[in-house]
Copies of this chain bind each other. A is one copy, B any other.
Amino acid sequence: MKRGTGRSGSSAAPNSVDVARLAGVSQKTVSRVFNEEPYVSAEARRRVLEAADQLGYRRNNAARALASGRTRSIGVITLGTALYGPASLLMGVERVVRDTGYALRVVNTMEGDPAGLAGAVDSLLDQGVDGIVISEPIDEPGGEAGPLRVDVPVLVIGAPPPPLTSPALLTAGGGADLMAGAATEHLLGLGHVTVHHLAGPQRWFAAQDRLEGWRTTLISHGRDVPAVVEGDWSAASGYAAGREFAQDPEVTAVFAANDDMAIGLVRALTEAGRRVPDDVSVVGFDDIPVAAYVTPPLTTVRQPFDAVAHEGLKRLVHAIENPDTDPLPASAPPVDLVVRASTAPPRPTGTGR
């Protein structure tokens, strides 16, 4: 323990009683000032602020949390990867959380983690948070025994709500299917007979959504739905898939579920003598910062990470602070296809239509 001489301890952190004493007011008035409560005279406020400053006072959050039952913090569960999407989302979330006056606690779930989502939620609940953000969860095989019981509002980004009970269960970041659809339309619009898909790992909802949007679009245009090749988001897996696609002369257009895979894909295609976009068109997803600068510059779909984080968090905070009100409605994110040089009409030769 640190406390020094007892009452007017000088070595340890000052508390509100110390401030009150120095300011010549009651402890409660100090509390009022720091909580910006009404009914404090200007004079009292001034004295308190001055005393606090002089002492280097800072409120003890543990005590506040204990007394009020609120921690003023939000926990976020991410996948623990430095992938552009998840990382961008996390940064967006941090910004909004801090702006709204909350603190951020972060917990990762590793892929293959036996405890998985349940363990992460538990850890956050243990720590004490007023709300939870689950960012891009994946389908863990070891299904939970019954739904998780969470007693704070939950926001799920980029996935349908998992089986959990919560005073408020919100979702954000939908629309990936529409975006994937737009990418597919673009390729079809260019004249390609059909579009192949290099999917992300199907345990990720984000990957499922994109696949779904692609497939739906193909079907609605009456096109064949070719077999899907599944990667793991990495450029390496895109490269491996690219070697397969390169074998098949029927492949003239590929929609990859993220830019990294698209880049690996382009490389494999190029190495195999299939030129992009002359022989094969490629569309990525995310619009990572280098997408415009690889060769050829990648046509891709830009994800509105910041907007999604912003809107989702606003709604979560609203749910936390207004437990009895209806949740705010979600709005659909815009679809933003960025056309660059990796897509072109198919060559008139060969498999014409």
Contact = CB atoms under 8 A, between A and B. Distances in A.
A61 B234 CA distance: 39
How many copies of this chain sit in the oligomeric assembly? Answer: 2
A52 B260 CA distance: 48
A116 to B, nearest CB: 14
A107 B104 contact: yes
A328 interface: no
B234 A289 contact: yes
A264 B293 contact: yes
A297 B235 CA distance: 12
B62 A292 contact: no
Contacts of A87: 82, 87, 90
A244 B235 CA distance: 30
A103 to B, nearest CB: 5
Interface residues of A, number: 56
B66 A66 contact: yes
Contacts of A270: 295
Interface string A60-79: 11110110010101000000
Contacts of A223: none
A71 B103 CA distance: 14
A39 to B, nearest CB: 21
A82 B86 CA distance: 9
Interface in A246-302: 260, 263-264, 266-267, 270, 289-290, 292-295, 297
Contacts of A239: 293
B295 A267 contact: yes
A114 B84 CA distance: 27
A91 interface: yes
Given A73-B105, A234-B289, 5 more contacts: A66-B66, A82-B91, A260-B289, A260-B290, A264-B290
5 contacts: A61-B65, A98-B107, A104-B107, A105-B105, A290-B294
Interface of A: 1-2, 13, 58-63, 65-66, 69, 71, 73, 80-82, 84, 87-88, 90-91, 94-95, 98, 103-108, 110, 123, 125-128, 151, 234-236, 238-239, 260, 263-264, 266-267, 270, 289-290, 292-295, 297
